[in-house]
Chains A and B, each alone.
Chain A
Amino acid sequence: MRLYGVVMVGWFRRYATYRMATAAGVFTNTAFGFIMAYTYTALWDERPQLGGYDVSQAVTYVWLGQALLMACALMGGGFEDELIERIRTGDIATDLYRPADLQLWWLACDLGRAFFHLVGRGVIPMAIGAFAFDLTLPGSALTWIAFLVCVVLGLLVSFAIRFLVALSAFWLMDGSGMAQISWLAGMFFSGMLLPLTVFPGTLGEVARALPWSSVLQIPADVFLGKRTGWALAEAYAFQAGWALALLGAGRLLQTAATRRVVLQGG
C-alpha cells in the first residue's frame, strides 16, 4: 500500500509545481463564484425557499460547487485525460509490466490530484466567497468532519465514473467523445448548474438517485446541516454503495481491457 501512498503524494506535488496555473484557476473559480452567486440571489429573491434553501444557503451552495469543481474534475482535468492518451498511443502497454494494479494506481493518482485541488483551488475561493457573501457555514466541528468524509466518498464515486469512461477508449480508440458526454452528464446531474432539490417530479427523483449526486449535492446538503443522524448515515450508504458498484464495474472492465490488450496488442 505504501506504493499507492507514494503515487498519491507524487501527484499532489506534481500539481503543486504549477503555481501560476493554480493562481489562474483560483481566479476563474472566484469569478464564476461571483457570477453564479448573483444569479442565484436573483433567482431566490423571486422564488424564496426554492429547493428548500434560503438565499444564504443557495449562495453557500454556489461557493461549495466552485470549491469542489476541480477536485471532482466535473469539467475534466482529472486523471482520465492522461489515461485516455496512454491508451490511444499504446503507452498503456508499458504500464502493464509493472507490478502494480491499474485501477488502484490511477485511483491514487486521482486522489493526489483531487486533494491538491481541494486545497489549492477549493479553500481560497470559498474564503473569498465567505468574505463577500453571507454564507451558511457549519457551526460545529462534527459537521465539518461529516462533510469531509462525504467529500472523500464523492471523490471515489467521481473517480469510479471517470475510470469507466477512460477504459472505454480501449474499444472506441478515441475516448474524448465519451469524456465529453460524461462531463455534460456530470455537470447537470451533480447539481453544478442548479441544486438537484430544485427539480420537481420524476426528473428530480432520477437525478437524485444517480451516482453524480454523490459528488456535489450530497456533500452540500451535509455542509448545510440538512443531513444529520440517520439521514447522514443514509447519505454515506448511498455514496459508498455507488462507489463500490462503480469501482467493481471498473474492475471487470479493466480485466476485459487487459485481456484485449494482452491478446490483441491494443
Chain B
Amino acid sequence: MEAFIELDGVEKVFDVRRRAGLLRREKSQVRAVDGLSFTVARGEMVGYIGPNGAGKSTTIKMLTGILTPSGGRLRVAGIDPARERTRLARRIGVVFGQRTTLWWDLPLKDSYRLMHRMYRIPDQRFRENLERCVELLDLGELLEVPVRQLSLGQRMRGDIAAALLHDPEVLYLDEPTIGLDVISKAKVRDFLRDLNADRGTTVLLTTHDLTDIEQLCRRVMVIDHGRLMYDGALAGLHEVGESERTLIVDLERELPPVVIDLARTVRVEGPRQWLAFPASQSAAPLVSALAARYPVMDLSLREPDIEAVIAKMYAGRSGQ
C-alpha cells in the first residue's frame, strides 16, 4: 500500500525559559516528540492516543505544517508540510474538538460559504459536498441558525462538515467526540466510518474515548513522552495492557461478593457490586451467567479508559 503519511525519526524540541532568580533565566529543553517513526497508508483510519502532554497535538501540528520538526523527516502526500503549508492546506482537513473554525455570530451556512471561497471549491462540487454533509450529519435545520446557538454536538457536526467540503485527502480529528452525548457521538462515528469507506479519506483520530477507536479504527498507535509505545490492533493493546472492563451490577439486596468464573469482584457497596473482566472478552456470557444465578436489578458496563490501559502498559514494562 502507498504510504500517505511518513514519519522517520521526527523530533520536536521546545526551549523553555524559566525564571531562576530575579533576573536570571534558565533555559531548558523539552522533547515533546522524540524520534517518532510510522507510516499511514492512503485510506487507513488510525487511532492516535496517549495521555495529556504525550505529544499528540504536537504531532498533528507538525503534520499540518504549523510546527516545524527539530529533526527527522516528515512527508504528507509527498509534501514537506512545514515548507509548503499553504499548498498542503488545500488537501487536508482538520477538526479540533475544543476549537471551532465556524463564525460564531453568523448562521452556519455563512461559514460554509467562506470555505467555498477559501478552498476555491468549484460550485458544482461544493453544492454536492454540502448536500451530502447536510444529509448525513443531519444539518438541514441548522443551516440558518447562528453558530453560538448550536449545542456542542450540533456545532461539532457543523465543524466536521466545514473540514470536508473541499474533499481533503486526509482528515485530522482531535477529540471529535469530547463532551458529546451518546446520540451525537454515534452520529459522528457513523459519518466518519462512511466517509472512510466511501471516499477513502485517510483519517487520523486523536481521542480519549476508547469506544471511538473500537468502533472506527483497526489500527491504533499509542504515544507517550513523545515516543511510540504501541502500534497495532486495539485487541492487542488490551492484551499488552491487560486492561479490564468493569460490569457494575445492582442486586436486589445486599449480598456477599459475587463468585463467578468469568470475572472477579473488585468492590462491593451495599447492593451494588463491581465485577472486572478482561477487555478482550465479550460481556454477554458474563451477563447471562450472572442473571441466571443472582437477583440482578440493573447492569451497566464501564470501558477501560485510555489512561488506565497505558498506565498498565508501563507497569508491565517496568516489571519485566
Task: Check B99–A3 contact: CB distance below 8 A.
Answer: no
Extra pairs beyond A98-B118, A265-B12 (17, CB < 8 Å)? A3-B114, A5-B117, A6-B117, A10-B103, A93-B61, A93-B66, A94-B99, A96-B65, A96-B85, A97-B92, A98-B89, A99-B86, A100-B118, A262-B65, A262-B67, A262-B82, A265-B67
How many A residues, CB 8 Å from partner?
23
CA of A261 to CA of B85, assembled, Å: 13
Closest to B174 in A: A94
**In the complex, A27→B89 CA distance in Å?**
45
A14 and B14 within 8 A (CB):
no
The answer to whether B273 has its CB under 8 Å from any CB of chain A is: no
B304 to chain A, nearest CB (A): 31
Q: Which residues of B contact A262 (CB under 8 A)?
A: 65-68, 82
Residue numbers of A with Cβ under 8 A of B are 2-3, 5-7, 10, 13-14, 17-18, 91, 93-94, 96-100, 261-265
Total contacts A to B, CB within 8 angstroms?
Answer: 66
| B191 interface residue per 8 A CB criterion | no
Q: How far is the CA of A10 from the CA of B101 in the complex (A)?
A: 14
A6 to B106, CA, bound (A): 12
Q: Which of A3, A5, A17, A263 contacts B106 (CB 8 A)?
A: A17
Listed in ascending order, the chain B residues whose CB lies under 8 Å from chain A are 12, 14-15, 32, 58, 61, 64-68, 82, 85-86, 89-90, 92, 94, 96, 99, 101, 103, 105-106, 110, 113-114, 116-119, 146
* Docked-complex contact B89 and A13, CB < 8 angstroms: no
A99 and B66 form a contact (CB under 8 A): no
Contact A3 B105 (CB under 8 A): no
When distances are taken between beta carbons in the complex, the residues of chain A under 8 Å from B82 are: 262
Closest to B91 in A: A99
Provide the bound-state CA to CA distance between A94 and B89, in Å.
Answer: 11
Among A18, A99, A261, point to the contact of B119 (Cβ < 8 A). Answer: A99
Bound-state CA distance A91–B174 (Å) is: 14
Task: State the Cβ distance, B85 to closest chain A Cβ, in Å.
Answer: 7
Bound CA–CA A179/B115 (angstroms): 31
Contact of B101 among A14, A17, A94, A263 (CB under 8 A): A94
CB < 8 Å neighbour of A265 from B58, B92, B94, B113: B58
A74 to chain B, nearest CB (A): 23
User: B166: nearest residue on chain A (CB-CB)?
Assistant: A99
A10 to B108, CA, bound (A): 11
List of A residues within 8 angstroms of B58 by Cβ: 265
Cα distance A13–B107 in the bound complex, in angstroms: 10
